[in-house]
Amino acid sequence: MKKLQTYRDEAYHHLTQELLPFWETRCVDRENGGFITHFDKDGNDSGEDEKSLIAQSRTVFTFSSAHRAGYGDGRFADIARHGVDFMLNTMWDPEHGGFYWLMNRKGEVTIDEKIVYGHSFAIYSLSEYTLATGDPRGLEYAEKVFDLLQKYAVDTYYGGYFEMFHRDWTLKGPGSAGGDRKTLDAHMHLMEAFTTLYEASGREIHRRKLLEMIELLIHRVTHPEYGTGIPQFWADWRVAPQIKFDIIWGWDRFSEDGQKSAAEDNTSYGHNVEFAWLLMHALDVLGIPYSQYENQLLQSFRHAIAHGIDWEYGGVYVEGSHAGEVYDREKEFWQQAEVLIGMLDAYRVYGDEKYLEAYDATHRFVFDKMIAHEVGEWKPLLTRQGEPIWTHMSHSWKVNYHSVRAMVQSIVRLDKLLAQ
């Protein structure tokens, strides 16, 4: 009990005294609208002239969710509204619908393509914004995006969603353009988005598409034997070698030819645990007991415990094979964030002390090595032992969504555990 209270105190202090103040004092662009999202190791604006759909929408989510969780005395609702204004008035394509992928700081379009990964976060953040503030515009546009995806992106033959489109929603070409690929990443984030959309709308069609996405993730996207996530597929759901797309997200550590080593046998411990806790949250919103999906949940958690947690130095490895061999022992920020939430859920529901030990190993690594306490945010990438490799506090791919969500959601779960 004392240990749980210590975790909670540390998380609350970091969230309220370091993390949220870091963003509140830096990110609002009063001149051009939207958010500034590029900061160096000291927390200074690093000057990149871009505003991405991913970073703008995630920052809307961050301030909306923090407001909904009771932080900020109303200030965060105003910051979220500021971001929504920019998304709807500047990033929205009035001709073809959907959001542009990339703009400069002034709000001039630099990449006009329609990327489903970015639109999943538009649905997620705008739905959360309406749940947090009551402003109906968020849900209105979240539903518009959902409808566009049903019209243009659904693969009616093989199931799931195509992901890479030109401005007018025509599908992009094969190879690194990505038009012939499907990814775990986009489909998992669509599940997350549809969960919050259904929570906000209560509409049957949103419930149905959420259930469809859950079934697809379990029966197509996870490994039939190990229950671990497979990163990339061809359109017909055959496993595809994991390549780097022209529109890159998330992971910039590929070989020179743009293909990963072990390109057909790798799984992310962070994604597997993130999928498990997001699935639990979806089931909560749907009113479905966890027991219906217990096998999948336990496979996700147990694989990470067995192979992904660094029991010597703490923290979570990047990735390895489905069978268990670890390929990448570096420590990236977002995997730590998702494992914090997931291991608290696993411990809360299943009661196995091993999950709490995994949480402890990750929590201590994050608080002792990964958080730049003097600045307020998390370092992006460390060696296995915890030495910095990358040092920036934020860019389009590392904003506030993982770090702030991990603290907000960890506190919710620690409070539940303390109440028990």
pLDDT of residue 202: 98
SS3 267: strand
Total Cβ atoms within 10 A of residue 227: 22
pLDDT of residue 262: 66
pLDDT of residue 253: 54
* Alpha carbons 101 and 51: distance in angstroms, whole number: 9
Nearest to 131 by CA among 201, 217, 185, 193: 201
* Alpha carbons 324 and 416: distance in angstroms, whole number: 32
pLDDT of residue 259: 56
* Alpha carbons 58 and 72: distance in angstroms, whole number: 18
- Longest CA pairwise span in the chain (Å): 57
Nearest to 390 by CA among 121, 117, 94, 41: 41
pLDDT of residue 254: 46
Q: Report the sign of the C-alpha dihedral through residues 324, 327, 331, 336, in that order.
A: negative
* Alpha carbons 406 and 404: distance in angstroms, whole number: 5
* Alpha carbons 109 and 305: distance in angstroms, whole number: 44
pLDDT of residue 247: 86
Question: What are the structural domains of the chain?
Answer: 1-419 (1.50.10.10)
Work out the angle at residue 357's Cα, subtended by the Cα atoms of residues 7 and 287, and round it to the nearest 5 degrees: 80
Per-residue tens of pLDDT for the chain, all 420 residues: 899 999 999 999 999 999 999 999 999 999 999 999 999 999 999 999 999 999 999 999 999 999 999 999 999 999 999 999 999 999 999 999 999 999 999 999 999 999 999 999 999 999 999 999 999 999 999 999 999 999 999 999 999 999 999 999 999 999 999 999 999 999 999 999 999 999 999 999 999 999 999 999 999 999 999 999 999 999 999 999 988 898 875 555 544 445 556 667 899 999 999 999 999 999 999 999 999 999 999 999 999 999 999 999 999 999 999 999 999 999 999 999 999 999 999 999 999 999 999 999 999 999 999 999 999 999 999 999 999 999 999 999 999 999 999 999 999 999 999 999
**DSSP secondary structure string, 159-226?**
-SB--EE-TTSPBP-SGGG-TTEEEHHHHHHHHHHHHHHHHHH--HHHHHHHHHHHHHIIIIIB-TTT
pLDDT of residue 255: 45
